[in-house]
A = this chain, B = another copy of it.
Amino acid sequence: MKSIVALAGGVGGARMSDGLAEVLPPGKLTVIVNTGDDFEHLGLNICPDLDTVCYTLAGLANSQLGWGREGDTWEALSTIGKLGGPSWFRLGDRDIGWHLERSRRLRRGQPLSRIMRDFCDIFEIASSVIPMSDDPLPTWVDTDQGELAFQEYFVKRQCHPRVKGFRFEGVERAKPAPGVLESIHTSEFVVICPSNPWVSIDPILSIPGVRQAVREKVVIAVSPIIGGKTVKGPAAKMYAELGIQPSALAVAHHYDDILTGFVIDREDENQASAVSDLGIEPYVCNTWMKTRRDRQELAKQLIEFGSKLVIQ
């Protein structure tokens, strides 16, 4: 069996990837992860989406918070807070160790993709986890309060500013990381995880060569919007602020040049025929991943649906 490629952002991407990894034979999943929200903080190179995916696949993620490690401690951060330093971005002690070592290797000139491959090996993650690019590609959010760096918008201002657009700085010259195009080319099909289309998936698809490679494949997306809302994160809010009614159908429109199939929640069953009208095969099931069982159940149906589309 060929591998399956998943394009992923943070929590939704991590949960979907985890479900797929559990259901597929070991090593048959490649996750290509957004790095547009990577940033430097306290001198540390932080890759929120990559880390959420890795921690989740390693079974170490903090499932309540949606970021960081389960059972992590907060000694370093509380010292920083006491000293009057910035403690708005919550970093646990084990998480800081992970960041310190990655930052050390990056400063030595090692590519991010190689470092993450080593980290995944050490943490016994059977799937391949690849950053979308080894080049820094920061996402900027244009808002009514000016253009903001992503984490400034996302964490510090808690997505309050009204969004007007997005910019992926340096994307014209960016190269996909080693393995990105190869894994897409040789894949059975591509899954777009229920991640934020604007700031998690679009950055991946904007890297020269990626959209084209994806377009040659059967591609199925899982809607991150259920009943007009997102499970987590600002995707629905962003659609509304950009003048688009947030819905599963809006997501199908968003990806309509590349999608073969589109998975929507039972709650949005009434949008299936409109999806179909776009020339995209709809698939209706429960998409809300509350438990690990939900992830695996969704992954099973996804694989079945994707395999059916490949044969067609």
Q: Chain B: which residue is nearest A41 at the CB level?
A: B104
Question: From residue A103, how far is it (CB to closest CB) to chain B in Å?
Answer: 6
* A103 contact set on B, CB distance < 8 A: 42-43
Answer yes or no: A145 CB below 8 A from chain B CBs. no
Question: From residue A189, how far is it (CB to closest CB) to chain B in Å?
Answer: 33
Which of A24-32, A77-85, A125-133, A147-155 forms contacts with chain B?
A: A77-85
| A48-B273 Cα distance, complex, nearest whole Å | 68
- Which of B72, B78, B100, B118 has a CB less than 8 Å from the CB of A80? B100
Answer yes or no: A294 CB below 8 A from chain B CBs. no
* A122 contact set on B, CB distance < 8 A: 82-84
Query: Within A87-142, which residues are at the interface with B (CB < 8 Å)?
Result: 92-94, 96-98, 100-101, 103-105, 107, 118-119, 122
A-B contact pairs, 25 of them (CB 8 A): A42-B103, A43-B43, A43-B100, A43-B104, A44-B100, A73-B75, A73-B93, A75-B93, A75-B97, A76-B76, A76-B94, A76-B96, A76-B100, A77-B97, A78-B94, A79-B93, A79-B98, A79-B101, A80-B97, A83-B97, A83-B98, A83-B101, A83-B118, A85-B100, A85-B105
| A96-B95 Cα distance, complex, nearest whole Å | 12
Query: Is the CB–CB distance between A75 and B78 below 8 Å?
Result: no
Question: From residue A156, how far is it (CB to closest CB) to chain B in Å?
Answer: 16
Q: Chain B: which residue is nearest A96 at the CB level?
A: B76
Query: Within A161-195, which residues are at the interface with B (CB < 8 Å)?
Result: none
Question: From residue A150, how far is it (CB to closest CB) to chain B in Å?
Answer: 20
Query: Within A189-246, which residues are at the interface with B (CB < 8 Å)?
Result: none
* A94 contact set on B, CB distance < 8 A: 75-76, 78-79
Question: From residue A268, how far is it (CB to closest CB) to chain B in Å?
Answer: 41
| A78-B73 Cα distance, complex, nearest whole Å | 13
Q: Chain B: which residue is nearest A102 at the CB level?
A: B83
Question: From residue A116, how far is it (CB to closest CB) to chain B in Å?
Answer: 11
Interface 1/0 per residue, A41-58 and B, CB below 8 Å: 011100000000000000
Q: Chain B: which residue is nearest A73 at the CB level?
A: B75
| A72-B104 Cα distance, complex, nearest whole Å | 23
Query: Is the CB–CB distance between A76 and B93 below 8 Å?
Result: yes
Question: From residue A250, how far is it (CB to closest CB) to chain B in Å?
Answer: 41
| A104-B85 Cα distance, complex, nearest whole Å | 9
| A188-B78 Cα distance, complex, nearest whole Å | 39
| A101-B85 Cα distance, complex, nearest whole Å | 6
* A82 contact set on B, CB distance < 8 A: 122
| A105-B83 Cα distance, complex, nearest whole Å | 11
